Amino acid sequence: MEKAKGLWKDKLTGIIALLIIGAYLIVFLQQDTGSSAPLPGWLMLTILMAIGLILIFSVMKIGRTKGTTADDFLTGGRGVGHGMTNASIVATWIWAATLMTSSWTAYSFGYIGPWWYGLGAVLPLPIIGFLGKRLRHVMPNVRSYPEFISHRLDKKNHILLTIISIVVSGVVAIMIVSGASVMAVSYANIPYWIVAMILLIIFVSYTSIAGLWASIFCDTIMTLFMYAAMAILVFGILFSVGPGKIYDGLVNVMTTKAVLQPEATAATQENQLDPLNIANIGGIGFLMTNIIGNLGAVLCNQTYWVRTIAAKDDKTIMKSFGTASFCWTPIPIAVATALGLYALSQKLMVGKSYTNGGITMLFTEADAVAPLGAFVALGVIGLLFFVIATLGASISTGAGEIMSMTTCIVNDVYKGHLKKDATDKEILRMSKAFLWICAALIYVIVMILRTVNFPFSGMYQAMGIAFSSAVIPVILSLAWKKTNRDGVFWAIIFGAAAGVAYWLYTGFDMNWGVVISNIIVITVSTITVMGWSILKPENYIFKNVKAKEGNENAE
């Protein structure tokens, strides 16, 4: 057995070495000496590969005994302590959007944008901490939240929420890969398809070694990388530019009525010219969209549930999610204020090129304001640290999302419906196989979206319409014994249908159309499940879940 493991590790090392050599050859062969990109392709590739290799070989060295059974592979052994759990939550919730979209809110809505981003995105963390504690109490041996649904509700709800969980994780993974790849090719002379491919290979390489434990362990490492990079950016701008200069710049934007996004709608330009108003109407609209969308992105996402499952006890769950909320919130607020607000104060205009230290950088779209702000304020060094932070965030979150997709596919589809008597070895083998299958599928979708130029910020704002109708039904299924199973199912369907229908009616409007659609989704689903459960209440006994699970300690 040990010999076989050694051969497998040698094989993996060889594959990684070949990929590195091949990627470098392609980058150099496609190198365009006349490129205006501020960073050379080999440097971007070196940063990406260095991060990936550190994570892969750390797991091979430290986690070689982890994930040897199917249960350990999918749940991390259910013994992860507070430190790693906290770091994993923070790292997993730092998306490319945490840096890119939060800075876009500062650039678009002024100083209040980052605060609305931080508030809207942090609210789900303590909620799922409480619900995760409840889940562990009700069903100690659970592997996924859809598995709980199969016991608490019925087959149709299990299938529906399994699909939703897989889709949510997939959408987030697509956002992560596409966002990081767009960032990479925009600021380095490197092909898009290479960045996307290498990111996915890194995700799967270390998670296939030790499963969820590997994902959580690498999150801990990446948290240190990201905090260091972001601290350099924030304090670098704070000391080199100063808050006074940023404030004066914002006043100048208001008085001169600068048009910084010539192709944007009138509403977008009006919001941007109101940067010192706490009641900026665009910012308030984004806050509502952000709260609803992020509730769906967390509470319907196996990635965050499984971190409550991996924690060693109830105290660890509550402590880790509580402290993670405080650790995470300052990140988008500080980074977006430093980068996005600085860019707005300097009246950086979309479509123009900016030069620093003899190097020129084109401002292609408002979504890319964060790296531009880092470049204009701190030069190539600032851009490098932004790249490191973004790639670190992308790897941490992306690996967790693909692991979650795999868990739901193997545990809830394969074992739950296709082969209920699957052995431990079969589940473990299928888990490792589906990590690669999911990565391949995501790669195909990412490349398709690239060809049609689907906007990154648009995907972020629209995610609440797609799956937030499941938020309240899932919460009530775990917290309220009278929740009706039919009410849950139809609340999810009706809520999503109503939101999509309205958004379609507005012509997929990305201003108030997307805001109202999100509100409709959550409102319709809540009224449906609450009304149905009040009219036809069930009297579910939660200790029956333990009994069905076969736990000898059932209450």
Mean pLDDT of the chain: 87
The answer on pLDDT for 34 being more than 70 is no
pLDDT for residue 472: 96
Q: What gap in Å lies between CA 225 and CA 186, rounded to an integer? A: 22
Q: What gap in Å lies between CA 378 and CA 238, rounded to an integer? A: 11
Cβ neighbours of 211 (radius 10 Å)? 30
Q: Hey, what's the torsion of the CAs at 500, 502, 505, 511, to 10 degrees?
A: -90
pLDDT for residue 552: 38
The answer on pLDDT for 397 being more than 60 is yes
Cβ neighbours of 503 (radius 10 Å)? 21
Mean pLDDT for 310-325 is 93
Q: What gap in Å lies between CA 330 and CA 46, rounded to an integer? A: 29
CATH code of residue 478: 1.20.1730.10
SS3 354: strand
Please, which residues bridge with residue 88 across strands?
none
Q: What is the pLDDT of residues 341-355, one digit of tens each?
A: 999 999 999 989 999
% residues pLDDT > 90 (the chain): 55
* C-alpha angle 121-294-87 in degrees, rounded to nearest 5: 55
R_g of the chain, CA atoms, integer Å: 23
The answer on pLDDT for 3 being more than 60 is no
Q: What gap in Å lies between CA 287 and CA 305, rounded to an integer? A: 24
Domain range enclosing 84: 31-59+74-549
Q: What gap in Å lies between CA 145 and CA 172, rounded to an integer? A: 18
Q: What gap in Å lies between CA 212 and CA 67, rounded to an integer? A: 8
Q: Residue 21 falls within a domain, yes or no? A: no
Backbone φ and ψ of 296, nearest 5°: -70, -40
Mean pLDDT for 199-212 is 91
Q: What is the pLDDT of residues 225-272, one digit of tens each?
A: 899 999 999 999 989 998 899 999 999 999 999 889 888 888 888 889
Q: Which residues, other chains included, contact 170 with Cβ-Cβ below 8 Å and sequence gap of 6+?
A: 401, 405, 438, 441, 442, 445
Q: Residue 19 falls within a domain, yes or no? A: no
Please, which residues bridge with residue 359 across strands?
356
CA-closest candidate to residue 196, choices 365, 25, 390, 447 = 447
pLDDT for residue 553: 39
Higher-pLDDT residue of 116, 11: 116
Asked whether 169 and 405 are in contact (CB, 8 A), the reply is yes
Mean pLDDT for 496-509 is 90
Amino acid at position 159, single letter: I
The CA–CA distances, whole Å, from 109 to 128, 417, 461, 464 equal 29, 48, 15, 20
Residue 499 token pair = 């939101």
- What sign does the dihedral 73-75-80-86 (CA atoms) show? positive
Higher-pLDDT residue of 237, 187: 237
Asked whether 352 and 369 are in contact (CB, 8 A), the reply is no
Q: What gap in Å lies between CA 168 and CA 117, rounded to an integer? A: 20
Ramachandran assignment for 362, one of left (phi > 0), alpha (psi -120 to 50 degrees), beta (any other):
beta
The answer on pLDDT for 2 being more than 50 is no
Query: Can you give the pTM of this predicted structure?
Result: 0.88
- What sign does the dihedral 393-394-398-399 (CA atoms) show? negative
Give the number of domains in the chain: 1
SS3 12: helix
Mean pLDDT for 377-403 is 91
Mean pLDDT for 36-46 is 79
> Residue 51: which pLDDT band, with cuts at 50, 70 and 90?
confident
Asked whether 412 and 150 are in contact (CB, 8 A), the reply is yes
> Residue 1: which pLDDT band, with cuts at 50, 70 and 90?
very low
> Residue 454: which pLDDT band, with cuts at 50, 70 and 90?
low
Asked whether 42 and 191 are in contact (CB, 8 A), the reply is no
Mean pLDDT for 304-313 is 94
> Max alpha carbon distance in the chain (Å)?
73
The answer on pLDDT for 25 being more than 70 is no
pLDDT for residue 268: 84
pLDDT for residue 554: 36
Mean pLDDT for 351-371 is 87
CA-closest candidate to residue 554, choices 134, 133, 142, 137 = 137
Mean pLDDT for 137-141 is 89
pLDDT for residue 300: 92
The single-letter DSSP state of residue 468 is G
Q: What gap in Å lies between CA 50 and CA 181, rounded to an integer? A: 16
Q: Which residues, other chains included, contact 27 with Cβ-Cβ below 8 Å and sequence gap of 6+?
A: 41, 42, 45, 189, 190, 191, 194
Q: Residue 15 falls within a domain, yes or no? A: no
pLDDT for residue 169: 93
pLDDT for residue 408: 96
Residue 465 token pair = 């319409």
Q: Residue 10 falls within a domain, yes or no? A: no
Q: Which residues, other chains included, contact 111 with Cβ-Cβ below 8 Å and sequence gap of 6+?
A: 250, 275, 276, 337, 341
Q: Residue 64 falls within a domain, yes or no? A: no
SS3 348: coil
Q: Residue 18 falls within a domain, yes or no? A: no
The single-letter DSSP state of residue 153 is S
The answer on pLDDT for 159 being more than 60 is yes
Distance of CA 412 to the CA centre of its chain: 22
Q: If you search the block for the tokens 């010999």, which residue do you land on?
A: 3
Q: Residue 278 falls within a domain, yes or no? A: yes
Q: What is the pLDDT of residues 72-105, one digit of tens each?
A: 999 999 999 999 999 999 999 988 778 888 999 9
The answer on pLDDT for 329 being more than 80 is yes
> Residue 449: which pLDDT band, with cuts at 50, 70 and 90?
confident
Report which secondary-structure segment, H or E, holds 359. strand 359-362
Q: Residue 409 falls within a domain, yes or no? A: yes
